[in-house]
Amino acid sequence: MDADTPAQHRAAAAERAVLDRYLHRYGPVAWAHAAVPGRENLRMWHYWWHAHLLHVLADAETHRPDARRRRLIRRVARGVTLRTVGRWTTPFYDDIAWMGLALARSGRHPRALRKIARLLANAVDPTVGALPWRVGSELYNAPANAPGGMVLALTGRRTEAAGLAEWMASVLDEPASDLVRDGIERGQVRPDLWTYNQGAVIGLELLLDGSAPAGGARDHRERARALVRAVERWCADDDGLFPAAGGGDGGLFAGILARYLAQAAVELAERGDAADDDAARQARRLVERNADALWEGRRDGLFPSDPRRPARPEGDDLDLSVQLGAWITLEAAAGLERAVTS
């Protein structure tokens, strides 16, 4: 796991810290437990967190290829297979979509990816034009529809993916900020603004760039650029730092935003006009600023749940999700560095 440049060194250190602290190997199988001294009640297996573990391992493999990591990716994938009794699914469409993205990124289990894509496509409510949050739910939200749309786009269902993007733009966009609100339930918009929703919608719009906008209403690349600009405005009063969301699932939110901002920085820079270049620079600044803050806050192999302070060996900072989120952010910065030097 060579780390020849500063950003790669940081990402490799985050990888080692997570694997050493949380990963357990059982023969050909591996999974991570959030078991730490004083928080034994968190010794659990978490489907959504494992989707991001598999995804960030695949990111690391792209940046620092290593045969040992490839074996570990196989072990983690086997662990998911066992824990889901071969189904690869849960009742939550958002979680299923994130697992689909992890499978697409890692290149593992293509049949499971196709199964997940079919399940998501069939779950779209035709009366709403969107995915519900879970089976039987009346909540339709960005955490399901943005990654769900990405899975559909990656598996050849671009028209359906564009429909989900258009639904989010027309229903969930907050006019005052251009940010994406959380969801809508029984006609009531849930106004929460979460970092990972912004990132996932950016990722979807980048995937759809080049497709005809649904209904001819919106340009996908411009929406990705507009979201990058909106995120920069959102973070401007706090020196570019992402809002913190604590531990639990929230520990992953900022890392997901960093992942897709890094993708935007690379892809928009390659496309070349002035608007693309400006948005690419904004996205890069945000990723690098947050990666730097997390690294500066690192203490004894732990990263803070809030990049505005140092890590503490207690509370949210001990959550696997928080450490995964920091690792994802540092891998995003490593990907940017790699794009510049390659």
Q: Is residue 330 part of a domain?
A: yes
Q: Across the chain, how many H-helices and E-strands are there?
A: 12, 5
- Domain limits for position 140: 6-341
Q: 306 falls in which pLDDT band (50, 70, 90)?
A: very high
The 10 Å CB-count burial string (b at 16+, else e) for 215-245 is: eeebebbebbbbbbbbbbebbeeeebbbebb
Mean pLDDT across 277-291: 98
Identify the residue whose tokens are 């401007």.
236
Mean pLDDT across 101-106: 98
Mean pLDDT estimate for the chain: 93
pTM: 0.95
Q: Is residue 172 part of a domain?
A: yes
Q: Does the structure show a pLDDT above 60 at 36?
A: no
CATH number for position 43: 1.50.10.20
Are 44 and 34 in contact, with CB atoms under 8 Å apart? yes
Q: Is residue 1 part of a domain?
A: no
Q: 28 falls in which pLDDT band (50, 70, 90)?
A: confident
- pLDDT per residue as tens digits for the range 92-103: 999 999 999 999
Sign of torsion over alpha carbons 195, 197, 198, 204:
positive
- pLDDT per residue as tens digits for the range 40-85: 555 678 999 999 999 999 999 999 999 999 999 999 999 999 999 9
Write down the pLDDT at residue 341.
63
Q: What total number of domains does the chain contain? A: 1
Determine the 3-state secondary structure of 13 from DSSP. helix
Q: What are phi and psi for residue 224, nearest 5 degrees?
A: -60, -45
